[in-house]
């Protein structure tokens, strides 16, 4: 941890952890432990384990867990509700890192980090090592199935007409 700021009025130090998190600590025995080198991270468990917290790679893994397990996630209904799961091995970030980080770095180096996305080879299959690879955003868009436009009501001709116009404008083929 590195001191980035000290406020003499409040007596608070601001530290930057190697995981990227900032932490404010008031001058106490805790602070002495940091200066003496007994504490090396901000104390968050994931920062202690892998040091990738806050990176795009970690965010991708977190997103996989959310969309496959969390019913409150906006995209859960396109993944978890359809039966798509994350394999048990990948529930632990370190295993996901061991399986995918090297290939992620190679892909990101070639296409850019913002243009590197996790891709399931079988779009109905689970998130697991043998079904996942890295793809560009363009590749991802080409592999997407036609998106659904929810109808406001089941029998209203007006709602169906609006949905059909919406789809035609975007040249998307989809079953209503």
pTM greater than 0.85:
no
Q: For 50-91, what is each residue's pLDDT tens digit?
A: 567 778 888 999 999 999 998 888 888 889 988 999 999 999
In the chain, where the domains are located: 2-49, 56-143, 146-176
Half-sphere exposure of 173 (CA within 13 A, CB side): 0
CA 51 to chain centre: 16
Would you state the pLDDT for residue 174? 37
Structure tokens at 10: 């409040």
Would you state the pLDDT for residue 40? 54
* Percent of the chain residues topping a pLDDT of 70: 55
Query: 25: phi > 0 → left, psi -120 to 50 → alpha, else beta; which?
Result: beta
Lowest mean pLDDT among 69-78, 88-97, 152-161: 152-161
């Amino acid at each position: 941890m590195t001191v980035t700021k000290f406020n003499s009025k409040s007596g608070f130090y601001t530290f930057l952890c190697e995981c990227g998190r900032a932490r404010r600590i008031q001058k106490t025995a805790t602070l002495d432990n940091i200066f003496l080198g007994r504490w090396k991270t901000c104390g968050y468990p994931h920062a202690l384990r892998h040091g990738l917290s806050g990176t795009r790679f970690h965010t991708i893994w977190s997103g996989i867990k959310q969309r496959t397990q969390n019913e409150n996630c906006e995209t859960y209904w396109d993944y978890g509700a359809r039966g798509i799961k994350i394999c048990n091995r990948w529930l632990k970030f370190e295993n996901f890192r061991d399986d995918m980080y090297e290939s992620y770095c190679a892909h990101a180096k070639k296409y850019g980090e913002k243009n590197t996305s996790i891709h399931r080879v079988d779009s109905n299959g689970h998130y697991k090592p043998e079904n996942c690879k890295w793809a560009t955003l363009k590749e991802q868009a080409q592999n997407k199935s036609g998106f659904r436009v929810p109808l406001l009501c089941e029998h209203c001709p007006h709602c169906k007409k609006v949905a059909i116009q919406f789809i035609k404008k975007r040249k998307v083929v989809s079953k209503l």
